[in-house]
Structure 1
């Protein structure tokens, strides 16, 4: 396949992830809470993915019972909670801040993998950790003034989103060699949806779904910002090295910030802009391999774990 088309698919997938905040904020406007929006995203996405697999390739739905705990880890421990913290920061602060703090995920993967899988913590990763801390400090206003411009709880939620985001790669590593990426994504969404179905109590707002705006934003969040984003990204990943794909995927925060500024009037200061650049640079350093190294690059996205990696 033409490399340019593959690169375009990766960029398009990442860009679709970048518009997540557009649909999330719109759903807030209809009175939904962050936890309920997580429920909408996972339930709608699970239905779409399973419908597709049932119609196209049912063999991908076969899993071993012993692997269920790992899918519970990816779907509930990681996806459900990272989305909750991510969406809560969007509600309490801005889309721009939410996506920047979520982007601490790759560095958390590197840190956790050092102790879980005994992966080397390279000089690049150490520098990336330093840049991430500086970048986040600039973004939340602690630098250069020494005073936080964002509520401390919101900052903790943002960092938690990055941490739980990273856990997908940790749980997913145990099953990525045995299953197709579609299988991992489908069952992760399913277990997340099964957890959110009773806990989000969306049935109490069943009447809200008669509003075409709610359905449009809910389906768009699931179809465009989740399922199609995954499909385009994974399709491109088949022909592009995972480390290069991770670099191309940095268009996600750029798109998210553009959405925040253009649609929701997010305001960015010079120091916050500099902080965002530092965080993105920390991601690039995290995925950069040393010369001659065969070290596997940590996955940035939940959907990125696959045999192709």
Structure 2
């Protein structure tokens, strides 16, 4: 079963890596970044809630006092990092946005130090330095700052990484009381509760019934969200979290490939080196944590 577990992680990383196809497809129909985030989390929340209401209603029971954990995972993490990530895709490129998202492990190290008192070893510090250097190459600050990307794109990408890191922090508290499936369901429910009114999605509701938009929305929610998360969650029952996270670094590679093949994006040699350095740092961090 362990081989199948690794296959599931590869599947999850691939499905996450093709997110840009759905994001850019919806953007072409005039949806704003907030509306695209809303489509993802609202549809996912509806499908997940309906599924578990039929399969096992016990998974939907939570204590009201624990809502604070899902405010963290759903609103401060999922809603925020999705908005930042999709904004970074628009302002930079799919490949650059994906690699900035993968600064998350570096933020996790820093947050774990501040909140949980985890020790920063020499290996962890080295990984942080390599991550910073790799990102500097990807965004163009190095070797020459003349070709650097707009500040807004850079901040959005780093915001995505920070928001993604927050999920590890808040879910750590939530998982003390609930299963991973319950945490996933309520993460999207809480994110949807905020994003639906904030996005103004109802103002463009007529667009939602166009068949291409329906196809993009269902693919976005069903494949790159629900199926991806379920694959990853099931696999975690059979392999260590650290190993799973290492395999999941396939995601930015897939995202880069999609950007080049579907959207005609180009990367110079320095950017490619930066991507390799960031992925190497992520692998190093996960091995260290394991």
Query: Which SS does the other structure have where 2:146 is aligned?
Result: coil
The answer on whether the counterparts of 2:13 and 2:228 sit within 8 Å (CA) in structure 1 is yes
Q: Structure 1, residues 59-92: CA drift from partner, whole Å, max 9, x if none? A: 0111111110110111011111100010001111
Q: Return the offset for 1:146.
A: 2.9
Please give the TM-score of this superposition, normalised by the length of structure 2.
Answer: 0.98
Match for residue 170 of structure 2? 171
Q: Structure 1, residues 256-276: CA drift from partner, whole Å, max 9, x if none? A: 111110001111110000000
Q: Which has the higher helix share?
A: 2
The answer on whether the counterparts of 1:23 and 1:218 sit within 8 Å (CA) in structure 2 is yes
Query: Which SS does the other structure have where 1:165 is aligned?
Result: helix
The answer on whether the counterparts of 2:91 and 2:152 sit within 8 Å (CA) in structure 1 is no
Q: Does 1:195 align with 2:185?
A: no
Match for residue 151 of structure 1? 150
Match for residue 305 of structure 1? none
Q: Structure 1, residues 43-74: CA drift from partner, whole Å, max 9, x if none? A: 01101111110111110111111110110111
Q: Distance in 2 between matches of 1:70 and 1:129?
A: 27
The answer on whether the counterparts of 1:124 and 1:288 sit within 8 Å (CA) in structure 2 is no
**Runs of 4 or more consecutive aligned structure 1 residues displaced over 2 Å after TM superposition:** 146-149
Query: Which SS does the other structure have where 1:147 is aligned?
Result: helix
Match for residue 120 of structure 1? 119
Q: Return the offset for 1:148.
A: 4.1
Match for residue 292 of structure 1? none
RMSD after superposition: 1.0
Match for residue 49 of structure 1? 48
Q: Structure 1, residues 204-231: CA drift from partner, whole Å, max 9, x if none? A: 0011012101111011111000000011
**Ranges in structure 2 where 5+ consecutive residues have no aligned partner:** none
The answer on whether the counterparts of 2:74 and 2:188 sit within 8 Å (CA) in structure 1 is yes
Match for residue 7 of structure 2? 8
Q: Distance in 2 between matches of 1:115 and 1:148?
A: 35
Q: Return the offset for 1:253.
A: 0.7
The answer on whether the counterparts of 1:7 and 1:236 sit within 8 Å (CA) in structure 2 is yes
Match for residue 264 of structure 2? 265
**Ranges in structure 1 where 5+ consecutive residues have no aligned partner:** 290-295, 298-309
Q: Distance in 2 between matches of 1:217 and 1:200?
A: 18
Q: How does 1:177-188 map to 2 (within 5 A)?
A: 177-188=176-187
Please give the TM-score of this superposition, normalised by the length of structure 1.
Answer: 0.92
Q: Distance in 2 between matches of 1:134 and 1:58?
A: 48
